[in-house]
Amino acid sequence: MRLLAGDRILFPDADAPAAGWIEVDGERIVATGLGTAPRPADEQLVGLVVPGYVDVHCHGGGGASFVTTDPEQVRTVLAAHRRHGVTTMVASLVTGRPEDLLAQVRCLAGLYRSGEIAGIHLEGPWLAPEFHGAHPTPLLSEPLPAQVGELVDAGAGAVKMVTIAPERDGALDSIALLAGRGVVAALGHTNAGYDQARAAIAAGATGSTHLFNAMAPLRHREPGPILALLEDPRVWLELIADGVHLRPELVAFIASIAPGRVVFVTDAMAAAAGPDGDYLLGELPVEVRDGLALVAGTDTIAGSTLTLDRAVQIAVAAGVPLAVAVRAATQHPADYLSLSEVGRLAPDMRADLVVLDNDLAVSRVLAGGSWLAR
């Protein structure tokens, strides 16, 4: 048993950090409390202590990608983001050929069983051509339940989320199938109208893949999917708070009207936590210049180079309350995908925590009860 104490710990649902303590046994938190520790602490934590960050929409980092059948590539991504405080990661795939997606899902499923990743997110191929983003349009397809079910089955429980355009043929039946299997259906890359989005939510969709980005815009006579997603309390709201995909002021506004539903995601590609250069996102060439990732030769954004610690910094600087910003990167994404053992500093949770300095930069990371080397 180890007793960790700190003057600024952000416990679940608290409005502000407070003095307290955390007792760790192996990989688990076994007890927590406010105020003075019940015995002399084994270690005094200096800085703001928050849960380990949880990224549920990420494609890569550190020069590597989850779009692979090489487990070492996956571990490179995990290590790059772990240095930035991410202790739980869901691996996102992009649109690809059916046989390639099956191979990638099976590879990642092995890493899910070993506990290295928390699941798989299928972002494509069931997307709208009008809002394909960095997904190759020739490989997009209708979300027919048989095809969706085949990929979900290939993951053997590892597939946790699927992005789907609800206006495509078969979408509502596939959303119902996913919901029935405990897989989150997230509306995204969609040209759906308001009524189509509401029908998808009624069928069981509970997520919005990077809200505002790659979807029909909010118009006064045609509100599209955005209004339907914002107004329904069952829906989680993914935001890419990098200052590029969304104005920070918009992030702050959404956090003010729906503070309990905001989920910060990175949508990061291989250049995250790495240098500028030329990369691939799936099969598409991507140019990264000054941290901005664009499909080569276009002005189409191709994921981001964001890390979750930076998302929290940007959000707080824009006026999002600290506790709301931290929960959007920890507790909310865990609840979004029903990851029951992470996202909170509480008994029976995995012993994942991050120590932040006064600038909210990561200074130390405890993952599964072990400190990462500085």
Active site residues: 267
**Residue 107 to residue 114: CA distance in whole angstroms:** 11
Q: Which residues, 6 or more positions from 319, have their beta carbon under 8 angstroms from its beta carbon?
A: 252
Q: Kindly give the residue spans of alpha helices, DSSP state H, lying in 18-142.
A: 71-82, 98-113
Is 189 labeled as ligand-binding?
Answer: yes
Q: Which residues, 6 or more positions from 244, have their beta carbon under 8 angstroms from its beta carbon?
A: 292, 301, 304
Is 301 labeled as ligand-binding?
Answer: yes
Report how far apart the first and last C-alpha atoms of the chain are (Å, whole number): 22
The pair of three-digit structure tokens given for residue 342, joined into one six-digit string: 């992470």
Is 210 labeled as ligand-binding?
Answer: yes
Q: Is 277 left (phi over 0), alpha (psi -120 to 50) or beta?
A: left
**Residue 91 to residue 73: CA distance in whole angstroms:** 12
Q: Are 92 and 61 in contact (CB under 8 A)?
A: no
Q: Kindly give the residue spans of alpha helices, DSSP state H, lying in 45-143.
A: 71-82, 98-113
For residue 182, the tally of other CB atoms under 10 A from its CB is 11
Q: Are 347 and 21 in contact (CB under 8 A)?
A: no
Is 213 labeled as ligand-binding?
Answer: yes
**Residue 261 to residue 328: CA distance in whole angstroms:** 8
DSSP type of residue 168: S
Q: Are 78 and 117 in contact (CB under 8 A)?
A: yes
Is 23 labeled as ligand-binding?
Answer: no
Is 214 labeled as ligand-binding?
Answer: yes
**Residue 175 to residue 165: CA distance in whole angstroms:** 10
**Residue 258 to residue 326: CA distance in whole angstroms:** 15
Task: Report which of 114, 193, 108 is spatially closest to residue 151, judged by C-alpha positions.
Answer: 108
> Which residue type occupies 149?
G
Is 19 labeled as ligand-binding?
Answer: no
Is 302 labeled as ligand-binding?
Answer: yes
Going by the annotation, the residues of the binding site for Zn(2+) are: 123, 189, 210
Going by the annotation, the residues of the binding site are: 123, 134, 189, 210, 213-214, 221, 245, 301-303
Going by the annotation, the residues of the binding site for substrate are: 134, 213-214, 221, 245, 301-303
